[in-house]
Amino acid sequence: MSKRLTRWPVLLGGEQGLTTPSRALRICLTWIPVLVCLLIISDESTDTFSAARTSGWIRHLAEDIFGAIAQPAWETAHHVIRKTGHFIGYGLVGLCWFRAWLLTWRQQLLRQAVLWHCVSAFMALLCTLGVATLDELHQTYLPSRTGLVSDAWLDTAGAVIAMAGVACTWSRQAGVRSVHA
């Protein structure tokens, strides 16, 4: 890897890890983004974020921007907005897991970059699927929520697409490196 790219953060395809003197601080900085994501997911998995509760304020915002929306059109739009939120939110969750695993195994697997990236991606997807499954399972116990297997797969698909975007970035960087080599 060129000297310039070794300074890039691991999520952008470089080798730069967290440079803190304390191992405990390094572990905290590695895993705090995952913890924050899990706290947000657990909050969003409650009655507060049920379709019945979010429809009003999201509709008000949408009508402020686009004008009046007929009820049948709103029901479809609200569904699409909520599912898009699942997809994007879990895409970010997947990226946080991916970053954490990349940083955790950086020292052990740095010399084998493909293995390092693949193991980290696999663990990130497995963790994202686990969180999505637990989220949907939790929702089955709430009268105002519906836990769906398809939502867990949609959530995981968001993580897959987000990590595929990272992989494309890495591929483009590899092309840049070979041109400048």
Q: What is the pLDDT along the chain (181 residues), one digit of tens a residue?
A: 444 444 555 555 455 566 666 778 878 888 999 999 999 999 988 888 888 888 889 999 999 999 999 999 999 999 999 999 999 999 999 999 998 998 888 766 656 777 888 888 999 999 999 999 999 999 999 888 888 999 999 999 999 999 999 888 877 765 555 444 4
The range of the structural domain enclosing residue 138 comes to 3-7+20-45+83-180
- Does 163 fall in a domain? yes
Cα 163 to chain centroid distance, Å, stands at: 8
Read off the pTM: 0.80
- Does 68 fall in a domain? no
Per residue in 121-163, pLDDT tens? Answer: 999 999 999 999 999 999 999 888 888 999 999 999 999 999 9
Residue 3: the pLDDT is: 46
- Does 52 fall in a domain? no
Identify whether the C-beta of residue 91 lies closer than 8 Å to the C-beta of residue 159: yes
Residue 17: the pLDDT is: 60
Residue 174: the pLDDT is: 59
130 is written with which tokens? 């686990």
Phi/psi at 76 (5° precision): -65, -45
Cα separation, 48 vs 53, whole angstroms? 6
Location of structure tokens 């968001």: 158
Q: Of 81, 85, 93, give the one whose Cα is nearest residue 33.
A: 93
Q: What is the DSSP letter of 49?
A: G
Length of the chain: 181
Residue 28: the pLDDT is: 82
- Does 167 fall in a domain? yes
Give the chain's domain count. 1
- The residue type found at 49 is F
